[in-house]
Amino acid sequence: MPRTLDLRRARHLLAEERLRHRAHGPGPRPVRTSDLVLALLAVAMLGGLALTAAFALTAGTAGP
């Protein structure tokens, strides 16, 4: 039958695992200019689509 860990030892093991993972894991990637340009292009395209939909809806409801 496996032995159970007391709470103090379990906390120590969990904290040690978190520190080891953080120290050896890769850091956050720097944001590249191309990523920013693609994000700006996507926002501009979505804005254009929203404007086109708004114009189409108003043109369709304003006509006789």
Rg of the chain taking only CA atoms, in angstroms: 27
Q: What is d(CA 52, CA 55) in angstroms, rounded to the nearest whole number? A: 5
Q: What is d(CA 55, CA 61) in angstroms, rounded to the nearest whole number? A: 10
Q: How confident is the model at residue 12 (pLDDT cuts 50, 70, 90)?
A: low
Q: Encode pLDDT of 14-60 as tens digits.
A: 666 666 655 566 778 888 899 999 999 999 999 999 999 999 888 88
Task: Name the residue with tokens 């369709």.
Answer: 60
Answering whether pTM is above 0.85, one says no
Q: What is d(CA 41, CA 37) in angstroms, rounded to the nearest whole number? A: 6
Question: Where are the alpha helices (H) located in the chain, listed in sequence order?
Answer: 7-24, 33-62
